[in-house]
Chain A
Amino acid sequence: MIKLDPKVPDGPLAEKWNKYKSSQDLVNPANKRKLDIIIVGTGLAGASAAASLGEMGFKVKVFGIHESPRRAHSIAAQGGINAAKNYPNDGDSIYRLFYDTVKGGDYRSREANVYRLAEVSNNIIDQCVAQGVPFAREYGGMLANRSFGGALVSRTFYARGQTGQQLLLGAYSAFMKEINRGNVTFYPKREMLDLVMIDGKARGIITRELNTGKIERHSAHAVVIATGGYGNVFFLSTNAMNSNGSAVWQCYKRGAAFANPCFTQIHPTCIPVHGEYQSKLTLMSESLRNDGRIWVPKKKEDAQRIQKGELKPTEIPEEDRDYYLERRYPAFGNLVPRDVASRAAKERCDAGYGVGNTGLAVYLDFADAIKRLGKSVIEARYGNLFQMYEKIVDDNPYETPMMIYPAVHYTMGGTWVDYELQTTIPGLFATGEANFSDHGANRLGASALMQGLSDGYFVLPYTLQNYLADQINVPRFSTDLPEFDTVEKDVKSRIDKIMNVKGDKTVDTFHRRLGHVMWDYVGMGRNEEGIRKALSEIKEIKEDFWKNVRIPGHPEDVNLELEKALRVADYLELGELMALDALDRKESCGGHFREEYQTPEGEALRNDKDYTFVSVWEYKGDGEAPALHKEPLNFEFIEVKQRSYK
C-alpha cells in the first residue's frame, strides 16, 4: 500500500522553498564523489540536472535514446519560456505567474510546487543568458518578450521560433562541459527497459543498447526519470517519433504511482491531418496567436463551398467571418488558454463551419498583422514557422490564412512526485514532463520549458542531495546482485515473448488503431459511454497485438520494429489507465472535458466539492484493477473560482 505524503514544508507560501533549502541536509564534497546518480533522459529536465549535479561533484550517469543528448525532444519546442522578470513593466510578478499557472491548470495543481516554479523562473533566464543562449533582444540590448495564452502580461522569452533548441543547447553544453571534467558520463543509444530496486529503494536500471541490442545493467544510489511525456499514446501527436511513455510505465509497474493519467493537452494550433499514412503532426507555435486571428466563415454555405474547393478564404468579406474566440472571450481573445481554444475550434467544426477539404480546420490569419506591421516584421517573428507550414501544406501563409486544427501535444499527467520530486519509490525521482507536478489539468504555453529547467537546475540539486545525505555510508552497488539478475531476466523474457509472437501485422497497425480509439473517446471530448467503449476496444487491440504482431530481424541487432513494439505494448496498458482515470473523474476541468459536465454556454464545469484532488493510481499486478488514491489539494493562498477568460 503506497503512502502519499506531499512533504510540503509549512509556513507562508513565499517562504516555503527558502525554508526547505536552509534546513535540508547537505553532502560534503568528499562524499559527493562516492555517490552515483542515474539520470534517464537528456531533454531540458535531464540535461540541466546532469550538468548541475555534475558541477556539485556527484558522479552522474546519463542515458538517452539518441546518439547525442542534443536530439532529445525538448529541441523541438518553438515558442518560448515564461519567467516573472517583469522586464516590460506590465505588472508581472512571481505571485501573478503563480496565480496564472494555478488558474490555467484549472485548480488541479499543488500550490507550493507551482509557487516554487514561479519563484525560480527568473534564475532560469539568468542562467541561460550566462550560458550564451541567444534570446531575442530589443534595440537597446535588453531581452525581448512576447505573450502567450492565459496571461495578460508579456512574460515569454524566446529565441526566434527555436526556443527549445536554444535552451537545450545551453543545458547540453553545460552537460558536455561536465563530461569533459569527468563527473558525468553519457551512455548514448540506451533505452531504459526496467527499474531495479534493492530493499525497496531504486538502485539501478536495465537498458538495451540500441545499436547492438545488448541488455545492460547499471547501478546507482538514486535514479532520476526525465523521459518526457506520453502523448504518443495517441499515435498522432506533435511529439517526436521516439518520445515514449515506457520508462514511466515500467516504474509504475514497479510501484511508482501514476498521477492524473487522463490530463492530456490538445494544442489548438497544429497543421491538420491530411492522410492515413501520416506519421506525426506539426505544431504551429502558440506565439502565432500574438498576431494571428482565428476565424471560420459565418455562413455554413461558405464553409461548405470552401470544403469543396469552390471558394477561397481571401474571397470571404470581413463581415462574413466569425472570429469566434474574440466573440466568445473578449478579454483574452485569441490568447485564451489552449484547452479553451481547442474546444472552441472543435465546436465550430462539429457544427459544420470548419474549413479545408475535411472540414476539420480553422483559419489562423495574418493579413491584419501584415497590414499593420509589414511583412518583414512578421517574417522576422515567425519566418521559420511559416516556412515549415509552407513545406508541409504547399501553401503560402503570407498570402492565404494558415489552416490549423487541435492535436495532442503534452501530457500533464505523469509519475506522482512529492515536493522533493521524489516518487512513491524511495530514491526514484521524476522531473520534467515525466512527472505530474505543476500544470494541473491544463498547462499554459511556455511553461513546460520553465518547469523542465526549474526541476533540473534549481530543484533537484537540493532535494536529491537531501535524499543522498543519509546514504554516504552506502557503498556503490554491484550489478551482480540477485536483484539485477531478476529484473534482467524479466526484460529478456519480455523481449522473447514479443519477438516470438511472429504474427502477420506490423507494430504501426496496432499503434494507429489505439490512436484512433484514444482520439475518438479519450480525446478532446469524453463521455461515459465513449470511455467504456474505448476500454473494451483497447482490450481487443491488446489481445490482437499479443497474437498477431510481427517483428522481423533479431533482438541482438539494430531493430527499430522491436523498439516500437516494446513501446506500443506499454501504450496499450497506459491507454487503458488513461481511460479509467477519465471515467473516474466526473467533472470537466482543463484538458479533461467530460461532455456530461458543462455549463449552458458549453464551458467546462468543475466539481470542486468532489474532485479537488490528484488522482493517484497504484499498480496492483497484471490483469488486476489498479487502486485509486487521492491526494487532496488544499488551496490556502488562492481563492478557487470558476475559470473565466471572458
Chain B
Amino acid sequence: MNFTLKIWRQENPNAKGGFETYQLSDISADASFLEMLDILNEQLVMEGKVPVAFDHDCREGICGTCSLYINGRPHGPDSGITVCQMHMRNFKDGSTITIEPWRARAFPVIKDLMVDRQAFEKIIMAGGYISVNTGNAIDANSIPIPKQAAETAMDAAACIGCGACVAACKNASAMLFVSAKVSQFAVLPQGKIEAKRRVKNMVSRMDELGFGNCTNTYACEAECPKNISVSHIARMNREFFISKVTSPKKEV
C-alpha cells in the first residue's frame, strides 16, 4: 500500500512546529500503524534526516504510552483500540494520513508527536489510592465483594491513562480519567473509607492543573480505547456532591 503522511514536526517545547509531508510506498496491509512509522523513520535515518519522535512501548494496547491524533481522532479511525493496535488495513491505499500529537494545555509537546502527560500523575498523587501500608492487610477473602461490584471496579480500572479523553474533548477536560479512578474505589468496600477525601482532592488538583470543564459532549467515551463509560463521570459528580455537603469543614 502507498500513503502520503502529513506529520506534525516540532523540535522542542518552545519551537513553533508545523506539518511535513512524506511519501511511503510498499507498506504491507498487515503492518501495524507504528510499524509503518518505524519504516518511515528507517527511511529518514538513511536519508540523513532526524526521525519522527513518537511515544510507544508495549505495542499491545495496555501501557497507554502511544498517543497519536490521526485524521482528527485520538488513536485513529478504529474504535475501542489504541493506535499501536491499529493496522494499515484500516486505511485506504493511496490515502493521505494526518498525524498530530495530543493537543491540550495540560499536555505540552516535548518533541514532534511526544507530549508530557505528567499532569495525570499529579492527580493520582492527590488521592488516587487506598491508604494501606504493606503488611497490614487482612486475609483477602475476609472482604467479600459482590461480583457485580468487582466487575464495575474492573471496568473503571481498565483505564490505561493514555489521555485520549483529554485530547478528544473540546475543553481538554480530564473528567473521564479522574472519574474512572474515583469510581473504581467508590464501588469497593476497601475504597469507601476515604471516598470523600479522595474525590475532593483529586478534583481540586485536576482544576489546578489547567484541565477544562466537562460540558457533557461525551467525545471522551467515544474515543476511549478502553471504552470507559461516562457513567463514571456521573458517579464522580455524585460522590463529589456528597463529599461537599457532608464533609466537616476542617480535614482531620
Q: Which residues of A contact B (CB under 8 A)?
A: 48, 51-52, 55, 66-71, 73, 75-76, 85, 87, 123, 125-132, 134-143, 159-160, 162, 164-166, 169, 172-174, 176-177, 179-180, 186, 188, 211, 240-242, 274-275, 277-280, 282-283, 387-388, 391-392, 394, 457-458, 461, 504, 506, 508, 550, 552-553, 557-558, 560-561
Contact = CB atoms under 8 A, between A and B. Distances in A.
Given A66-B57, A142-B144, A278-B35, 13 more contacts: A67-B118, A69-B121, A75-B62, A123-B137, A127-B134, A130-B132, A130-B138, A140-B144, A159-B157, A169-B157, A177-B129, A282-B60, A504-B46
Nearest to B159: A169
A176 B153 CA distance: 20
9 contacts: A66-B63, A127-B137, A129-B143, A135-B140, A141-B144, A166-B154, A180-B125, A240-B63, A282-B59
A16 B193 CA distance: 38
A552 B130 contact: no
Given A75-B62, A241-B56, A277-B35, A173 B81 contact: no
B125 A76 contact: no
Interface in B61-82: 61-65, 78, 80-81
Interface string B4-16: 0000000010000
Nearest to B121: A68
B89 A552 contact: no
Contact of B190 (A55, A132, A392): A132
B177 interface: no
A141 B58 contact: no
A432 B151 CA distance: 29
Interface string B181-215: 00011001011000000000000000000000000
A52 B39 CA distance: 43
A71 B63 contact: yes
Nearest to A393: B30
A76 B150 contact: no
A125 B143 CA distance: 12
Given A68-B161, A391-B86, A85 B133 contact: no
B130 A173 contact: yes
Interface residues of B, number: 78
Contact of A52 (B30, B128, B134): B134
B140 A85 contact: yes
Contact of A558 (B28, B80, B110, B138): B110
Contacts of B245: none
A143 B110 CA distance: 43
B140 A141 contact: no
Interface string B43-58: 0111011110100111
Contact of A506 (B35, B45, B124, B184): B45
B32 interface: yes
Interface string B134-158: 1111111101111100110110011
A168 B133 CA distance: 16
Contacts of A68: 64, 117-118, 120-121, 161
B57 A506 contact: no
Contacts of A160: 154, 158
Contact of A159 (B49, B120, B154): B154
A238 B39 CA distance: 20
B85 interface: yes
Contacts of A557: 12, 111
B97 interface: no
Contacts of B147: 137-139, 141
A131 B132 contact: yes
B235 interface: no
B185 A132 contact: yes
A561 B154 CA distance: 37
A174 to B, nearest CB: 6
Nearest to B127: A180
B219 interface: no
B131 interface: yes
Contacts of A179: 125
